[in-house]
A and B are shown apart, each in its own frame.
Chain A
Amino acid sequence: MNENSTILRMRDITKTFGAVRALDGVSISVTRGSVHAICGENGAGKSTLMKVLSGVYPHGSFDGTIEFEDKEVEYRSINDSERDGIVIIHQELALSPYLSIAENIFLGNENAKRGVINWHETNLEAVKLLARVGLQENPATPVLELGVGKQQLVEIAKALSKRVKLLILDEPTAALNDEDSAHLLDLLRHLRDQGITSIIISHKLKEIRKIADTVTIIRDGATIESFEMTEPDATEARIIRSMVGRPLDNLFPPREPDIGEEYFRVENWNAYHPVDTARKVVDDASFSVRAGEIVGFAGLMGAGRTELAMSIFGRSYGRNISGKVFKQGKEIQTRTVEEAIRNGIAYATEDRKKYGLNLIGDITVNVSAAALGRLARLGVIDRNREYVTADRYREQMNIKAPSVASVVGKLSGGNQQKVVLSKWMFTGPDVLILDEPTRGIDVGAKYEIYGIINQLAAAGKAVIVISSELPELLGLADRIYTISQGRISGEVTRADATQELLMHYMTADKD
């Protein structure tokens, strides 16, 4: 087999939805045995392109040609493409939680005779596949007992069971912590050495730098450029430039901090796990935020950052919660979400689709959702005022949608996040807790969100940003707390903060 042959060639792919051109003559060719990254802003057309490739959009519903292993192919469904060895792993994992690892790996592809499954062989085969992806688990373990990182590996094992030649991963590390991400990238490298080609769609440029052999950048449904990562000018800056179509000199908008008195303080906060009630998830946490200050919270996944925020915000998480919350020196209660909101606290959740938005509702109802009382008299909503309010936020936050009657589920991630922020701004908060405010959104929208966060601080609010991305915290926060194993393990000012120092505190063990 020729080492540098082309395994996949897509030519002039054009796909329209009604009047909208999602893809406009995209071409891409992927070298056998390479890792090929596809970059682009949200909505650029990456996922659409992968759906064209895998047959989700059947042959005939788009223009252009696909050649796989030097044959022109006409896939009509996912089954067709999988038969050729093209397997796509979506961002939202598609495993059945109550079935075992082995059952999931062979789901739809069971080792059976006349409908009766041969469990012995199934399990043997599963063990072999798990070994290939470096997962040491009993194949009989139900998938719901695994973390997201391990579930991802099960997905890859499942792909291997289908004799995959081309593995497509859509944002594979979006929900993984650093350790799991590193393991996944190692695995992709390992599979590449075995001759398996991968296409990886990712927003994380560092990751692309680490793993990709070739990068193709798509913008507005068209290929912008494609280059080898070994080229001397294959830099992150170049990728960003191609993605957004303009040089982004600085990833963070400039800001002059204007920090006032202490505004918000939490003392000796404790919370226990809701099910495993003996486990302390938040352990004696104390911290404070000043007016106009942006305070970052750094921590590894599972360290207790979200748990800390949610237990403060209306005791939405955990049991046996204790501790005190002060605003401007006066103790306040936050026993229910409604009470927390009334006391001027806002919490934009980490998972905006699951906890943040009514996806079937329009922008209007989402913006007003947390402060309907401000628009109502005697329980009757003034809908005209509601509309005007939502429209004002649409303009102010630059939410890209035809009108505020647009259904939120159809917006891109960045615009959805702006709706979430609008919702919380409309509650008139003094203290904003933003949990992973830029997760899964593209560079351009991130910049806008950072700008909004800066404005909030400039307006004298106390802002807390929880983030897994250390550069984000370093670029944004005036002061950073680190959390490890439920405890506040460190506090670093902007001047002293480095990734290394933060990581040192984030991995600090309990005494």
Chain B
Amino acid sequence: MTNTITTEPSTPTPAAPGRRTPINLRQYGILAALAVIIVLFQVLTDGRLLMPGNVNNLIQQNAYVLILAIGMVIVIIGGHIDLSVGSVVAMVGAVAAIATNVWGLPWWQAVIISLVVGAVVGAWQGYWVAFVGVPAFIVTLAGMLIFRGLTLVFLTGGTISGLPREFTAIGAGWVPGFLGEVGGRDVITLVLVVAVALAMVGIQLRARAQLGALGLPRESAVSFWIKNAITAFAIIALGWQLSDYQGTPIILVILGGLVIIYTFTLNRTVFGRHVYAMGGNLFAAMMSGVKTKWVNFFIFVNMGVLAALAGVVATARAGGAVASAGQNYELDAIAAVFIGGAAVQGGVGTVFGAIVGGLVMGVLNMGLSILSVDAAWQQTIKGLVLLLAVAFDIFNKRRSGH
């Protein structure tokens, strides 16, 4: 009885496809904000922000947050939170360093061991959340202490440095430029970005053609091509700058793969749909036959594995394991997810949004650092940005009549 809009007899209008396209209006908003921030700092820093070396660092320095944000957005859509990821990053870093430097294992075995440790950590936390029913806030707060403590135990208070070069390349290396250089630019990087841009447009075109064939609503051709042109331009521009530096960071390839896999998982798989359903209404999901306990369990196992991967990346970039690694990483990841439009109550959020949210924080960090703004003020500004981003979101929703 509260709503008059929908009771009117209405003809089906080819409305905005809503969740159907992977990018919705809310995310255009945050994307616009990212663009504004980039332009702002580009001007303020006299063009230094987007210099090839800085673009490269932006990716390598923020890779860990972006990886964590991908796991965290799933956790948050499912209606939970994970406070332990920073400690897991540190602990996995310690395990990886021990594996290579103490046990003398090759880099790939160290990575596998790290990911297995992450999965075990996730299974441990998932067990308490899913099968015992302890709220994730408590389980992961405990985890934050437990895994930080274990890191100290493993490292016996010291540090392990001098990791093998193959291992550090994961966080600080580049795809070998085996196609050589043209005019000082790495050719493989340029080939890669053009291929990615073309593939993206191709996939979008195919999806669009399918919608057309089924007579389903789709966005206008103009908006479709503008969107694709801008995205393709952004991808190629990124490659253009990177090719002028050392080429494609390995971590960028990993990140790209993760974004594709997880966007697909959330949008197209039964598991992803169940996560959204549980965040939207847990009881309704239960009464629809969703195995909610197992879904919760795997949300945390997945978060554990991604936290481990972030641990590998962060340790590789740092070149060694220290007990204080990963501090506040959980907060960065959570902030990225919420800036990216996820809802605190669960049920809402996207991988794309989380990545853009993470980049907003990353660009802020870098821009403020180039401007030599004091670290204390940097934190203050980041806090305000988080607050304003979410407040803006709420304001928007209220205006649209929720």
Contact A359 B280, beta carbon cutoff 8 Å: yes
Q: Which of B7-30 contact A (CB under 8 A)?
A: 7-10, 12-20
Restricting to B88-112, which residues have a CB under 8 Å from any CB of A? none
| Residue in A316, A361, A381, A413 with the greatest tally of chain B CB atoms within 10 Å | A361
CB of A313 to closest CB in B, whole Å: 8
Q: In the docked arrangement, what's the CA distance between A135 and B270, Å?
A: 50
Question: Would you list 8 pairs from A and B whose C-beta atoms are within 8 A, ordered by A residue?
Answer: A43-B6, A337-B287, A361-B347, A369-B284, A369-B285, A384-B211, A384-B216, A387-B20
Residue B223 interfacial (CB < 8 Å): no
With A359-B281, A383-B268, A384-B211 already in contact, the answer to whether A401 and B20 are too (CB < 8 A) is no
* Residues of chain B with a CB closer than 8 A to A401's CB: 6, 10
Residues of A close to B270: CB separation below 8 A? 372-373, 376, 379-381
Judge whether B4 and A355 touch: CB under 8 Å. Answer: no
- CB-CB under 8 A from B267, the residues of chain A are 383
Query: B379 interface residue, CB < 8 Å from A?
Result: no
Q: B345 — nearest CB in chain A belongs to which residue?
A: A360
User: Among B46-54, B162-170, B271-279, B321-329, which stretch is in contact with chain A?
Assistant: B271-279
Q: Given that A356-B284, A369-B288, A384-B210 are known contacts, is A402 also in contact with B4, CB under 8 Å in the complex?
A: no
Across the interface, do B7 and A400 meet the contact criterion of CB distance under 8 Å?
yes
Given contacts A43-B1, A403-B12, A405-B17, contact A361 B280 (CB under 8 A): yes
Residue B269 at the chain A interface, CB threshold 8 Å: yes
- A44, B1: Cβ atoms closer than 8 Å: yes
Assuming A383-B20, A384-B216, A410-B3, is B401 touching A17 (CB within 8 A)? yes
Interchain CA distance A363-B9 in the complex, whole Å: 17
**B4–A43 touching, CB < 8 Å:** yes
Task: Please tell me if the beta carbons of A47 and B288 are within 8 angstroms of each other in the complex.
Answer: no
Docked complex Cα distance between A298 and B155 (Å): 68
Q: Number of B interface residues, CB 8 Å?
A: 48
Is A508 an interface position by the 8 A CB rule? no
The contact string, 1 if C-beta is below 8 Å from chain B, for chain A 26-48, is 00000000000000011111111
Q: Is A357 an interface residue (CB 8 A)?
A: yes
For chain B residues 236-268, which have a beta carbon within 8 Å of chain A? Answer: 267-268
Nearest-Cβ distance from residue B349 to partner chain A, whole angstroms: 11
Among residues of B, the one whose C-beta sits closest to the C-beta of A388 is: B214
- Decide: A403 and B13 in contact? CB cutoff 8 A: yes
User: Among the listed B6, B14, B273, which residue makes an inter-chain contact with A415, where contact means beta carbons less than 8 Å apart?
Assistant: B6
User: Complex formed: what's the CA distance from A415 to B5 in Å?
Assistant: 12
CB neighbours (8 Å) of A381 from chain B are: 268-270, 273
B81 CB, nearest partner CB in chain A, Å: 19
Nearest opposing residue in chain A for B347, CB measure: A360
Which A residues form the contact surface with B (CB < 8 A)? 17-18, 20-22, 41-48, 171, 201, 220-221, 313-314, 316, 336-338, 340-341, 347, 349, 354-362, 365, 368-370, 372-373, 376, 379-381, 383-384, 387-388, 394, 400-403, 405-406, 410-413, 415, 423
Are the C-beta atoms of B283 and A355 separated by less than 8 Å?
yes
Closest to A358 in B: B280
B145 near A: Cβ within 8 Å?
A: no
* A412: chain B residues within 8 A (beta carbon): 1, 3, 6-7
Tell me if B291 counts as interface (CB < 8 A to partner A): yes
Query: Which of B1, B216, B268, B285 touches A387 (beta carbons < 8 Å)?
Result: B216
Minimum CB distance partner of A41 in chain B: B7
Which residues of chain B come closer than 8 Å to A354, judged between CB atoms? 281, 283-284
State the B residues within 8 Å of A (CB).
Answer: 1-10, 12-20, 210-211, 214, 216-217, 267-271, 273-274, 276-277, 280-281, 283-291, 343, 347-348, 401
Q: Is the CB of A403 within 8 A of B217?
A: yes
B1 touches A341 (CB 8 A): no
* Residues on A with beta carbons closer than 8 Å to the beta carbon of B288: 337, 369-370, 423
Closest to A91 in B: B1
Which B residues are CB-close (under 8 A) to A384? 210-211, 214, 216
Taking the nearest CB of chain B, how far is it from the CB of A438, in angstroms? 14
A-side contacts of B210, CB under 8 Å: 384
Is there contact, CB below 8 Å, between A411 and B284? Answer: no
Nearest Cβ in chain B — how far from A362, in angstroms?
Answer: 6
A341-B289, A384-B216, A402-B13 given as contacts; is B271 within 8 A of A379 (CB)?
yes
Contact of B273 with A365 in the complex, beta carbons under 8 Å: yes
CB-CB under 8 A from A355, the residues of chain B are 283-284, 287
The answer to whether A360 and B280 touch (CB under 8 A), given A17-B5, A20-B4, is yes
Q: How far is the CA of A354 from the CA of B5 in the complex (A)?
A: 22
Instruction: List, in ascending order, chain B residues with CB within 8 A of A316's CB.
Output: 286-287
From A370, A405, A423, give the contact of B19 (CB < 8 A): A405
Q: Which residues of B contact A410 (CB under 8 A)?
A: 3, 5-6
Give the residues in chain B near A388, CB-CB below 8 Å: 214, 216
Interface centre among B3, B267, B268, B269 (most CB of A within 10 A): B3
Given A42-B1, A380-B268, A349 and B287 contact (CB-CB distance below 8 Å): yes
Residue of B nearest to A314 (CB): B289
Query: Knowing that A201-B1, A403-B15 are A-B contacts, what are 6 other residue pairs whose CB atoms are under 8 Å apart, sorted by A's residue number?
Result: A42-B1, A358-B276, A381-B269, A388-B214, A405-B18, A405-B217
Q: Are B1 and A46 in contact (CB under 8 A)?
A: yes
Say yes or no: A47 contacts B2, CB within 8 Å.
yes
> In the docked arrangement, what's the CA distance between A423 and B20, Å?
19
By Cβ-Cβ distance, the 7 closest A-B pairs, closest first, are A43-B7, A358-B280, A370-B288, A338-B289, A405-B18, A337-B289, A22-B4
B15 contacts across to A, CB distance below 8 A: 402-403, 405-406
Per the bound structure, the CA–CA distance linking A379 and B281 in Å amounts to 21
Contact, CB under 8 Å: A361 / B276: yes
Chain A residues with CB under 8 Å of B13's CB are: 402-403
Residues in A neighbouring B14, C-beta threshold 8 A: 403
* Interchain nearest-CB distance for A439 vs B (Å): 13
Given contacts A372-B270, A401-B10, A411-B3, contact A358 B289 (CB under 8 A): no
Residue of B nearest to A401 (CB): B6
Most buried by B among A46, A337, A411: A337
Contact A358 B216 (CB under 8 A): no
Q: Chain B nearest CB: distance from A343 CB in Å?
A: 11
Closest to A376 in B: B270
